[in-house]
């Protein structure tokens, strides 16, 4: 019942909302890590080992939704992140051989709901264009043998400059916390994070 109520509230909010579009393009730093386990019955002399990935690349994000009274934007988020980097831990030698000397990469595609708030919208000062946002996405992707399916919580803040009546551009700074699962039962405790700073374009 609670889920149905929240869903109805979400759609009802657009009855009094204006169209909202948000596009972000930025460089990103991605970190992933996990634990590679070893069967003690088969390899009694081996312990669990660290598995890691660090990469640099790009992030693109698009959001479509509604803006309620100029203060709160509710939307659906689509994002794609691609990086190139290095692995470390137990798989470093194996990965360097398997990719024939090329640097390993990561790619994550995500979709989910999000909210952006303009807390100083009613201010007459330039601070009215300051915003904070968060989104929760289902993620598909991997990097350095870590990941397959998971989810992330993305946090972002920034400042916008008005270029016309409804169009804005600005700077976005953000980070995410990522958790994933893998079909490989020998890999566990998969997690990661990313940080970025980039360009944002908004229509509201």
Q: How confident is the model at residue 202 (pLDDT cuts 50, 70, 90)?
A: very high
Residue 88: burial class (beta carbons within 10 Å; 0-12, 13-18, 19+): middle
Q: Are 100 and 111 in contact (CB under 8 A)?
A: no
| Sequence ranges of the domains in the chain | 18-203
pLDDT at 100 (0 to 100): 37
Q: Does the pLDDT at position 60 exceed 70?
A: yes
pLDDT for the residue numbered 193: 95
pLDDT tier, 93 (very low <50, low <70, confident <90, very high otherwise): very low
pLDDT digits (tens, 9 = 90+) for 159-184: 999 888 889 999 999 999 998 887 76
User: Model confidence at 96, in pLDDT bands (50, 70, 90)?
Assistant: very low
Token readout for 23 is 């596009």
Strands 17-36 and 72-89: unpaired
d(CA 8, CA 11): 5
pLDDT for the residue numbered 37: 76
CATH, domain range 18-203: 2.40.160.20
Structure tokens at 54: 């660090």
> What digits encode the pLDDT tens for the residues 37-55?
765 555 555 567 778 899 9
The lowest-confidence range among 93-97, 125-129, 172-176 is 93-97
């Amino acid at each position: 019942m609670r889920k149905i109520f929240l869903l109805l509230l979400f759609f009802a909010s657009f009855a009094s909302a204006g169209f909202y579009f948000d596009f972000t393009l930025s460089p990103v730093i991605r970190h992933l890590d996990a634990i590679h386990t070893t069967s003690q019955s088969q390899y009694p002399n081996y312990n669990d080992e660290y598995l890691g990935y660090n990469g640099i690349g790009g992030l693109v994000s698009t959001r479509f939704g509604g803006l309620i009274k100029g203060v709160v934007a509710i939307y659906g988020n689509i994002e794609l992140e691609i990086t190139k980097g290095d692995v470390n831990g137990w798989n470093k030698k194996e990965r360097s051989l398997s990719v024939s000397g090329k640097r390993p990469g990561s790619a994550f595609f995500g979709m989910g709901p999000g909210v952006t708030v303009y807390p100083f919208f009613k201010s007459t000062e330039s601070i009215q264009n300051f915003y904070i946002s968060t989104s929760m996405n289902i993620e598909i992707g991997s990097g350095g043998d870590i990941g397959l399916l998971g989810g992330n919580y993305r946090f972002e803040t920034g400042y916008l400059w008005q270029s016309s009546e409804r169009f804005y551009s600005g700077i976005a700074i953000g980070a995410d916390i990522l958790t994933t699962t893998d079909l490989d039962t020998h890999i566990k405790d998969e997690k990661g994070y990313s940080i970025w700073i980039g360009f944002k374009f908004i229509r509201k």
